[in-house]
Every structure is written in structure tokens, then in C-alpha cells.
Amino acid sequence: MTKIEMKTPLVEMDGDEMTRIIWQLIKERLICPYVDLKTEYFDLGLANRDATDDAITIESAEATRRLGVAVKCATITPNAARVEEYGLKQMWKSPNGTIRAMLDGTVFRAPILVKGIDPVVSCWKEPITIARHAYGDVYKNAEMIVPGAGKVELVYTAADGTETRELVHEFANAGVVQGMHNLDASIESFARSCFNYALDTKQDVWFSTKDTISKKYDHRFKDIFAEVFEADYAKAFEEAGIEYFYTLIDDAVARVVKARGGFIWACKNYDGDVMSDMVSSAFGSLAMMTSVLVSPTGVYEYEAAHGTVQRHYYKHLAGEVTSTNSVATIFAWTGALRKRGELDELPDLVCFADRLEKATLSTIEAGEMTGDLARITTLENPCTLSTEEFIDAVASRL
């Protein structure tokens, strides 16, 4: 067949360990036979990040700003053990953190539903997408142990030197105290990312905080969301037949557990951290989860939600057969190809992405899957495939 042509290249961010092997297999067996794949390639493997003093990560984020759509392989975030293992010049920062800071985005994570892997919550029929604000609050806090009696105050010193004070607590005895912050600009970009993503995927947005208790801090989030919505999105939402809905976090939790799914749940940083683990485990598996970073300017970076699957990689290096699930990485590629196809008006590319996803899901539904899913499926007599066999099974269906 004639290969599907692309117009604009994707930004391709290669990565580490088991996911780097899967990356190559996906390109070679699932994409390149059908698509004349155009990418700007950045090797974010740890060895190359070290060799380039991490400049490669920054270049890949700059290319993403320029080209608009990226696909990223899982990468190692070095710790002390990795510094030794790879003989690194220094403990480089998390590439995801660097890229996120440069693109100023919100991360959307949604489970991939498939027959035979049932959610623990039986009424969930459609995915629940968590949109997590990735800046500030408790993740950029200042905290203190209060050793004994004394007064704790918040002090704001304006540029002209004037001070505004707010009493936190008059301590009679020892205790603890914490200060945290957020920025109007960051909250606004969080809101825009959520509303843009909702329009893109035709889903309602739920946003929840605890503004009844946090009358200034959480209330600021609620107000900014409402202002941005009214000013720039209300009309588009109405036309798209979707809704924006604000409620208290405890009410949201109660509603989510009774819901059907099919909506975006926008969460403050801490709430998103906790709730995304709850939602993903209740839906089945981290390897069955899509993840995309969306910037307020409409730049997209697709990735898998899991890591480099180090334990499997060492088995692979020792010559053992592995059974690593490639679904999230396949969906990172299809997400990016589909988005590129939409932006460049290439219906064949969009259609290819749909078919590759369909082939992947129908392989699992036919009982052919990797070990992680075989252990939890409700299908009878599932066939456990190796990493490579699973990709080949998808290829033959495709």
C-alpha cells in the first residue's frame, strides 16, 4: 500500500530501559509500515541527557512549542543509585518537570477501557479523566516545627515596604505550621487548559475545591475558573453541548463514585495527586492509562503514565522473556498522530490512529494480553504473551 503522508513532523522524545525497547518495536512494526513517519528526533535517554548536560531536554521542549505536538517515551529520573549506575556528571532533574515548566501545562490522565478488565466501581462505564494542576500549594510549601509558646503570623511585604499581617495562631505550646502559595497566572492557565481539553474531547468539566473552609485561597481558584469560563468559554461550551460544573471536593468524591464517567475532573495539585491514583487503580492498571500534557497555548505532549519498567528491563538484559504492557506507549503514539492529523487536516492519519487503537484493544478482548492484564482479567483462559508477541499480535490485527 501507499504510505500515509504527514505534513508537519512530530517531536519524538526517546527514553530509557524497557520503554525504549517498546518504543522501537512500535515504530518498526506498527507505524512505519503504514505511515511515512516524520519526526524531529530527540534522544532523552539518560546517557544522552548526561552527554548534552541536559540541553537535549530543553531543546525537545522548545521544538514542542514550535511544532505543537510531541510524543514522549518514559525516562529515568535519576536518583543516587542512577548517578552511580550511569556514571552521571550530576543528578539531572526530572525531564517531565523540565518540560512541564517550559510548556506551562496541565496533565490529563484517563484510563483506557477494554472488555475483560472491569473497573472496581461497577457503575463506571466511561473513562474519568483527572486534570491535575501541576504548580504550587503544598508542593511548594514552607513549613516549620513550632517548638513552644509563641505567635505565628503571615507577613506580606509589598514592593514599597508596607506590611500586611494575618495571625495564624497564638501557640501556648509546641506545634507545627505551614505556608503555601499559588499564582493567579498559573491558576488561569490551569483553567484554560481544562476548558480547551473539554472542548477538544466534548466532555463536561467538574472542578472541586474546599472554598467553604478556605474562603480566600480555594475561593480564588473558584473565582478564576468562573471568570475565565464566563469570559472565553461559556458560548463554546453551549455550542458543544457540554457543561462546566463547580462543587465542593467532598461532594465531588461522592458524585464520582456514583457516576457513569465520561467527564473531566479538574483537581488542585494535592487532590489530583491523590485522586488520580485512586481513579487509575480502580479502573485496573497504570499500563492502561493515557497521559497528555496540554499547555494553555494549545501545545500537546503525549506520554505513557508509567515509568521505564526497570525490573522487566533487567530481566530482558539477563536474557529472560519479558511480558511488558505496551498499550500506554502505543496510545501515546496514536494520541500524537491523531492530533497531528487533526491540526494538519489529514483524515487518513486520524483514521490510522483510530485503527491502531482498535487493533490494540481487540487483541486484548480476544484474550491475547501481557502478564499484568492476564492476572486481573475476567476473560477465561487468557493467553499471556511476551512483550514482542503482544506487539506482533496487534500488528497482525492491524
Complex with ligand NAP: residue 44 or 346, whichever CB lies closer? 44
**Contact between 182 and 219 (Cβ < 8 Å):** no
- CA–CA distance, 398 with 375 (Å, rounded to integer): 25
Which residues are CB-neighbours of 3 under 8 A, at least 6 positions away? 33, 34, 35, 36
Complex with ligand NAP: residue 114 or 350, whichever CB lies closer? 114
Complex with Mg ion: residue 97 or 298, whichever CB lies closer? 97
Complex with ligand NAP: residue 202 or 311, whichever CB lies closer? 311
137 contact choice in ligand NAP, Mg ion, none (CB below 5 to 8 Å, kind-dependent)? none
Residue 365 touches Mg ion, criterion: CB under 5 A: no
Complex with Mg ion: residue 40 or 273, whichever CB lies closer? 273
46 contact choice in Mg ion, ligand NAP, none (CB below 5 to 8 Å, kind-dependent)? none
C-alpha cell at 347: 483524515
C-alpha cell at 272: 489530583
Using the contact rule CB under 6 A, the part of the chain among 190-198, 253-261, 304-312, 356-364 near ligand NAP is 304-312
Complex with ligand NAP: residue 186 or 325, whichever CB lies closer? 325
218 contact choice in ligand NAP, Mg ion, none (CB below 5 to 8 Å, kind-dependent)? none
Angle at the Cα of 293 from the Cα atoms of 85 and 75, rounded to 5 degrees = 10
For the bound state, the minimum distance from the C-beta of residue 180 to ligand NAP, rounded and expressed in Å, comes to: 25
- CA–CA distance, 254 with 257 (Å, rounded to integer): 6
384 contact choice in Mg ion, ligand NAP, none (CB below 5 to 8 Å, kind-dependent)? none
User: Rule CB under 6 A: which of 231-290 touch ligand NAP?
Assistant: 286-287
C-alpha cell at 133: 494542576
Residues 325-344, mask of contacts with ligand NAP (x by CB under 6 A)? x-------------------
User: Rule CB under 6 A: which of 126-145 touch ligand NAP?
Assistant: none
- CA–CA distance, 146 with 316 (Å, rounded to integer): 51
Complex with Mg ion: residue 272 or 296, whichever CB lies closer? 272
Chain Cα centroid distance, residue 381: 33
- Residues 171-207 as b or e (16 or more Cβ within 10 Å = b): beeeeeeeeeebeeebbebbbbbbbbbbbbbebebbb
User: Rule CB under 6 A: which of 347-376 touch ligand NAP?
Assistant: 372
User: DSSP 3-state assignment of 14?
Assistant: strand
User: Rule CB under 5 A: which of 166-225 touch Mg ion?
Assistant: none
Residue 209 touches ligand NAP, criterion: CB under 6 A: no
Write the DSSP string, 162-211. Answer: -EEEEEEEEESS-EEEEE----HHHHHHHHHHHHHHHHHHT-EEEEEE-T
Sign of the dihedral defined by the CA atoms of residues 129, 263, 376, 391, in that order: negative
**Residue at shortest CB range from ligand NAP:** 307
Which residues are CB-neighbours of 233 under 8 A, at least 6 positions away? 195, 199, 244
C-alpha cell at 154: 503571615
For the bound state, the minimum distance from the C-beta of residue 283 to Mg ion, rounded and expressed in Å, comes to: 16
Count of residues that interact with ligand NAP, criterion CB under 6 A? 17
For the bound state, the minimum distance from the C-beta of residue 66 to ligand NAP, rounded and expressed in Å, comes to: 22
Which residues are CB-neighbours of 188 under 8 A, at least 6 positions away? 224, 228, 296
Complex with Mg ion: residue 95 or 296, whichever CB lies closer? 95
Give the bridge partners for 267, in sequence order.
132, 208
Using the contact rule CB under 5 A, the part of the chain among 85-93, 171-179, 268-276, 370-378 near Mg ion is 268-276
Residue 273 touches Mg ion, criterion: CB under 5 A: yes
75 contact choice in ligand NAP, Mg ion, none (CB below 5 to 8 Å, kind-dependent)? ligand NAP
Residues 71-90, mask of contacts with ligand NAP (x by CB under 6 A)? ---xxxx-------------
Complex with ligand NAP: residue 276 or 324, whichever CB lies closer? 324
Binding residues for Mg ion, per CB under 5 A?
A: 273
Q: Would you tell me which residues interact with ligand NAP (CB under 6 A)?
A: 74-77, 96, 286-287, 303, 306-311, 324-325, 372
